[in-house]
Amino acid sequence: MEQNTQMHVFVAIKITHQSSKFKSPRESNFVLHTVQSHGARLVRLHMQDWLILLLLAGIDGGLNIIEPFHRYISSDLMTDLKYPLKIPDTVPMWAVPVYAVILPCLVFLIYYHRRKDVYDLHHAVLGLAYFVLITSVVTDSIKDAVGRPRPNFYFRCFPDGIAIFNPNNGDVMCTGDRKLIKEGYKSFPSGHSAWLGFLAWYLSGKIKVFDKRGHAAKICIVLIPYLFAALVAISRVDDYWHHWTDVFTGSMLGIVVSSICYLQFFPFPNCNNGWATHAFIRMMEENSFECDIEEIETTQFQHEDRRDRPTPVEEINGRDRDRGRDREPCRIIAF
């Protein structure tokens, strides 16, 4: 007789209450808070944070309107700025919000659909928004202040190939499109290569890369955003829109800001509960719980033996009794 098998994955949360009265899993289940039940309250609680985001967005909009610093460019300096002007570029500006904002938000929504944790969803979106806007403000501020010409500045300035310089000081006198010329003074640093650091942090926490179990394959998943960001950065150099120092500085800036913004809402991924938000951990502490998350490996067993074998939760409780631990029984409160 053919034996059928079935895969079962359990996520068990072992909770020890420190007071005399033990609260039920439903009363203490922070993970099951949804957008419908707690979304509006959570947004009101962080209203000042969202208002600051609007201020940052306004500042960045103003930085893109003002004229950047026009660095002095003589005929000798123009020699290194005669690379061809490629329009459209490999990664156009409209694609930046797609991979910098929409893609990470899709990942956040997939995790929310699985865990129904509105706190994780809210803090992830808020952290991503701060990362994007802070990086934009810093990047555009430096662009406007430095005014470094792009490698293709010559053909932005002189589309007909006829160079004109001021006879008094030798500075360049551009005859091209004003919009192209304005963008030509915004080479340093690159903004395209700074956007996927937050997603890498988020994935490392959720898939528990640093759980000390030696599953090196998880590292490959976390490195995918960095690989994509590196390819975008290389495309900016290949298209002659940036110097290599521009994309290097932009990448370092993205890594630093993404780390700060992620750690504002989440602990380091190598912590015991590195997948959770600070709000989740604080809630457990305020309710006098010691939370120990243990994900039981995927087990494969036969249907006819299922009644004779202990469930994963029973295995945990039995193992604790064998080790002489005095704690409340293990209860499953999330799948």
Contact 261, 129 (CB under 8 A): no
For residues 261 and 53, what is the distance between their CA atoms, to the nearest angstrom?
13
Place of tokens 């123009």: 78
Signed CA dihedral, 266, 286, 316, 118: sign only: negative
C-beta neighbour count of 282 within 10 angstroms: 12
Catalytic site includes residue 192 = yes
Signed CA dihedral, 172, 177, 178, 180: sign only: negative
> Annotated catalytic residue: which of 33, 122, 123, 242?
242
Contacts of the segment 316-321: beta carbons below 8 A, 24+ positions apart: 316/12, 316/14
Place of tokens 């990086």: 135
Catalytic site includes residue 278 = no
> Annotated catalytic residue: which of 33, 123, 192, 243?
192
For residues 221 and 195, what is the distance between their CA atoms, to the nearest angstrom?
17
End-to-end CA distance of the chain: give it in Å, rounded: 32
Contact 91, 235 (CB under 8 A): yes
Please give the positions annotated as active site: 192, 242
